[in-house]
Amino acid sequence: MSPTVLRVGGFRFYFFSREERRAHVHVQHADGEAKFWIDPAVELAANFSLKPQQVTEIQKLIEEHLNEIRGAWAKHFSGGSH
């Protein structure tokens, strides 16, 4: 299960239900995918085929929606499924 948290500008932001405990978000685009840590700060964890400009744009979007993404993380993983 990978619930979508946000869709902006061709990017899909989502979580994997069974993955590591450190808070992060995955981002999918037609050009590739990336993973960003969201705690304690927004930081690129992995990039698969996205251009540097796209990574920069994603990071800005995450920072703009950080409270929403962190809230969705807390809600999704509070059920003990993680």
Domain segments of the chain: what residues?
A: 4-77
* Residue 79 confidence (pLDDT): 63
The single residue listed with the structure tokens 């932001």 is 13
* Residue 82 confidence (pLDDT): 45
* Residue 77 confidence (pLDDT): 85
What six digits make up the tokens of 37? 């840590």
* Residue 29 confidence (pLDDT): 98
Picking from 26, 21, 34, the residue whose alpha carbon sits closest to that of residue 6 is 26
Query: Mean pLDDT in runs of 10 for the chain (82 residues)?
Result: 90 88 95 97 97 98 97 83 45
* Residue 1 confidence (pLDDT): 66
* Residue 2 confidence (pLDDT): 83
The verdict on pTM exceeding 0.85 is yes
